[in-house]
Amino acid sequence: MSPAQAALRIDDFEDLEPALTIIVTDQNGAEHRLPAEPGWRAMEVIRDWGLNIKAECGGAAACATCHVHVDRMWADALPPPTDEEVDRLDDAFDVQETSRLSCQILLSPEMDGLRLRLAPGTER
C-alpha cells in the first residue's frame, strides 16, 4: 500500500469490495472505516492502512504497542484472550476491561463492523 493510500476511508473507494470492514477510532477521536479480509489480524489492517500505531513486535504478542479498546458491544463476541495476551497487557497504558492486543484479534467474516479504539501510548 502506498503512503498516498494510508488512512483513507472505505468511502473513498468505489471499486473496493472488502470481505469485511473494521471501524477504528484513532487516538485523536477520528473514526476510520478500514477494509479487511478474513485471516488478517486487526493490527495488520490498522498498521497497513497507515493509522498511528507502533505495533513494534509485528504480531508476536511480545509488546503491548498494538493495544486497543474493543467496543463493549463486541467484547464478548471475540474469542477470549490467552494467558500470554493478558500478561502482556500488564505492560500497557490505560488498560480497561475491554483491552486487547490487536495482533491477537484474528479477523473472521463474523467480525464485520468490529469497532476498536487505539489506546493511548500506542502512537508511533
- pLDDT 10s digits, 65-123: 999 999 999 999 999 999 999 999 998 999 999 999 999 999 999 999 999 999 999 99
Reported in sequence order, the residue ranges of the chain that DSSP labels E, i.e. its strands, are: 20-25, 31-36, 67-70, 99-101, 115-118
| Mean of all residue pLDDT scores within the chain | 89
Torsion sign (Cα): 83, 88, 93, 99: negative
pLDDT band at 17 (very low <50, low <70, confident <90, very high): confident
Under a CB-based contact definition with an 8 Å cutoff, are residues 35 and 5 in contact?
no
Q: Which CATH number fits domain 3-12+22-118: 3.90.870.10, 3.10.20.30, 3.40.50.720, 1.10.150.20?
A: 3.10.20.30
What is the rounded average pLDDT of the residues 52-62?
A: 92
pLDDT computed for residue 83 by the predictor: 96
Identify the CA nearest to 115 among candidates 82, 81, 68, 79.
68
Q: Where are the domains positioned within the chain?
A: 3-12+22-118
Q: Is residue 54 within 8 Å of residue 66, measured between CB atoms? A: yes
Q: Provide the whole-model pTM.
A: 0.86
Least confident of 8-22, 56-70, 100-114: 8-22
For residue 32, pLDDT over 60 is answered with yes
